[in-house]
Structure 1
Amino acid sequence: MPRRKTPKASTADRSARVTIVDVAKRAGVHWSTVSRALNPQKRHLISPDMIERVEACVRELGYRPNALASGLRTQRSRTIGVIVSNLGDPAHPPIVRAIEDRFAEIGYVTLVGNTDNYPERQAALIDRFIAQGVDGLIVATFARNDPIIGSCVEANIPTVAVFRDPECDDVPSVRVDDAKAVELAVQHLAAHGHRRIAHIAGPQNVSTGYYRHRGFRRACRALVKLGVVPSVVYGTQFTVEDGEIACRMLLRDHPDITAIAAANDMLAVGALRYLKSCDIHCPNDISIVGMNDMPFMDSIAPALTTIRTPTADLGDRAAAILIAMINGTPIESRRVVLQPELVVRGSVARLREATQRRYDHLAEAPQ
């Protein structure tokens, strides 16, 4: 009977047996030198030639660092958790990518969780990340004065809020000036002759919806001498579907509006969709401004005039703050507010006299 050959160990099997000591022996150095060469935060302590020698030995032996053993030595998992409401929302991927890129530079792995805007799911994700021993959290889903922040504080886990501001002194935050963003939108519409301007607001329990609504009210008060007449309808989510519903309500209750400042681009797209279903032309009949400048807003018809949110910068700044907190380094500011930018495209037109007369008639008609 022929003898069965013993299968050779795979590359993975061989590399599993290689230790940092093996690499050190091959390189002719102490194992601590190998550790520094492979640690992005400490490799500056040794020469480039030594780093190159160690890396060559690592490749030759197929060494893979043991993250668990390293974590036991340093009391760090070299992982962080990032929580967003919906990765399908085009505003979130650039934030997550910027965070991931910044942490990858120092050898960290980013774990991402999706809440779908459910508070209980946010709480479960935070509990899970804390239980898994992440070194810190970046959360884009906090509500205003969110009670779950207490869990982060009790666990002594470094936490940074991004995109939304929980308005809590316990957590640093990085966000855009949401009120200013909507002021830019209203001022742009008013400069094009619009006076009956509506706002499709987002949910008021989160800072993005709350501050954008405040900015709309403030901008309209500043322009009251021009005859600006505001109207507001509130969405429950920042979604296309909510934008459709809100636009229907606006035209039912305020048929004389000539312009809409939406609290985000998805709401604006929903409003556009509803206008098209009613054969109402944008921008000739009703102009629309969105918020965030999500991808492809320049490719829809009409191309959406919007307010650009520096999403990648938000992620990068949040990551920088969390890295400082993990390392015990003082942070310059616990409240970082970035500036928005008006992006002019095709969804806003100057108010035409014929349209103005028609809406004046609607406004004077008995309800």
Structure 2
Amino acid sequence: MAKVTLKDVARQAGVHVSTVSRALDPQKSQLVGDSTRARVRAAAVELGYQGDAIASGLRRGRTNTFAIVVADLGNPFIAPVLRGIENGLGGRGVMPLVAETQDDSERMEQVMHAVLGRRVDAVITTAARHGDEQLLRRIARQVPLVLAVRHLPDSGLSAIVHDDERGGRLAAEHLVSAGHRRIAQLCGPVNVSSFQERTAGFRSYLELRSIVSLEPPERAAFPTLQEGQRLMSRLLDSLHEPPTAVFAHNDLMAFGALDVLKERGLSCPEDVAVMGYNDTQMTRYTAPPLTTIRLPGYELGRLAADAATMLIEAGGGATPKLTLPPVLVPRASTMDWSGSARRPD
């Protein structure tokens, strides 16, 4: 079956081909009268016309594609971020291309070179580690770049992030207010800004209360369930007496901590309270439901899409860093010692 062309639509609508081109172009359709525009669009639908988005974009010097580069597609937190980006771009006729770095800097470089080769209009990445700064600065000189979730402090790169230091303080404040004094944290990778800031915020609040943060002898290499299991085991093995509460730097690591407690015959929250970070979908369905810090992934993704679009329209430069506030979501995993959950979700 022959492909329907602009000439076919023009013939069906009884107008010139240039009129059809303008009527079907979101950026030029206002140049065509309402009745003519409606007639052209009706003809296009009737004939099954499909525009060539690539050719149209290239005429403007664009491909109408954004690269979305994430660290781990298996992390349940990333789904709402991707949905926010997709919905933020949907009304703009932009197609997102999603790639994964597996939280590896070498793979990050390979992915970035690949997406540049596809002439994307912008890049949004949630996978930045501190060792990637030189690479990402180079990318930002070639195409608009927005860091999301993770940022690179003092890099000057556009970023939409969470107030992770405040989130860490909220976690510590919640556990102290529940009566805990032997408090531990399972720290995420040292070269990721969000985990550095959660560590700093948590420690700073405990120091104000003259409490030492109990921590295993090493940090997680990756923010995964398996690393949560490993660090929780190391923590318990390194202490004569287990902590009464543990803050894991994300929900996946907290799930791993819960697994280890169960294996060792310890109950949560009666023996050890556990809380995570991100408020992923499964946190309310664990046994017990997990206390966590809510990171608004959907909103963060939508704002990242807006920021990338603004950079394109501005012709480069950088947008200001935007920081979203954390929210404590208390559930049964940090029930206080009096036997009643604090502000249950």
Match of 1:190 in 2: 176
One-letter amino acid of the structure 1 residue matched with residue 214 of structure 2: S
Match of 2:107 in 1: 121
- For residues 227 and 113 of structure 2, the distance between their equivalents in structure 1, rounded to whole angstroms, comes to 31
How many residues align? The count is 335
Q: Retained in 2: the 8 A contact 1:284–1:352? A: no
Higher mean C-alpha deviation, range 46-55 or range 283-292: 46-55
Alpha-carbon spacing, 1:45–1:260, altered in 2? closer, same or farther (3 Å):
farther
Higher mean C-alpha deviation, range 307-316 or range 247-256: 247-256
Alpha-carbon spacing, 1:260–1:103, altered in 2? closer, same or farther (3 Å):
same
Which residue, out of 36, 55, 61, partners 1:75? 61
Which residue, out of 315, 319, 327, partners 2:305? 319
Please give the per-residue CA displacement for 1:229-252, whole angstroms capped at 9, x wherever unaligned: 311232111111111111111112
Match of 2:228 in 1: 243
Higher mean C-alpha deviation, range 269-278 or range 40-49: 40-49
Please give the per-residue CA displacement for 1:91-117, whole angstroms capped at 9, x wherever unaligned: 111111111122121111110001111
One-letter amino acid of the structure 1 residue matched with residue 79 of structure 2: P
- For residues 154 and 125 of structure 2, the distance between their equivalents in structure 1, rounded to whole angstroms, comes to 13
Structure 1 position 167, deviation (Å): 2.2
Please give the per-residue CA displacement for 1:233-279, whole angstroms capped at 9, x wherever unaligned: 32111111111111111112232411011100001000000000001
Report the secondary structure of 2:281's partner residue. coil
**Structure 1 unmatched runs, 5+:** 1-12, 354-367
Structure 1 position 77, deviation (Å): 0.5
- For residues 27 and 155 of structure 2, the distance between their equivalents in structure 1, rounded to whole angstroms, comes to 30
Match of 1:335 in 2: 321
- For residues 330 and 157 of structure 1, the distance between their equivalents in structure 2, rounded to whole angstroms, comes to 8
Structure 1 position 86, deviation (Å): 1.2
Larger Rg: 1
Map of 1:192-207 to 2, 5 A cutoff? Answer: 192-207=178-193
Map of 1:9-88 to 2, 5 A cutoff? Answer: 13-14=1-2, 16=3, 18-88=4-74
One-letter amino acid of the structure 2 residue matched with residue 338 of structure 1: L
Structure 1 position 35, deviation (Å): 3.2
Match of 2:89 in 1: 103
Match of 1:230 in 2: 213
Identity %: 35
- For residues 328 and 21 of structure 1, the distance between their equivalents in structure 2, rounded to whole angstroms, comes to 35
With the length of structure 1 as denominator, give the TM-score of the two structures: 0.86
Which residue, out of 138, 146, 151, partners 2:124? 138
Give yes or no for the alignment of 1:151 onto 2:138: yes
Q: Retained in 1: the 8 A contact 2:188–2:220? A: yes
Structure 1 position 46, deviation (Å): 4.2
Report the secondary structure of 2:180's partner residue. coil
Q: Retained in 1: the 8 A contact 2:64–2:120? A: yes
Displacement over 6 Å in runs of 4+ = 329-332
- For residues 332 and 47 of structure 1, the distance between their equivalents in structure 2, rounded to whole angstroms, comes to 38
Alpha-carbon spacing, 1:301–1:44, altered in 2? closer, same or farther (3 Å):
farther
Match of 1:9 in 2: none
With the length of structure 2 as denominator, give the TM-score of the two structures: 0.91
Please give the per-residue CA displacement for 1:321-357, whole angstroms capped at 9, x wherever unaligned: 111111227999520100111111110122369xxxx
Structure 1 position 88, deviation (Å): 1.1
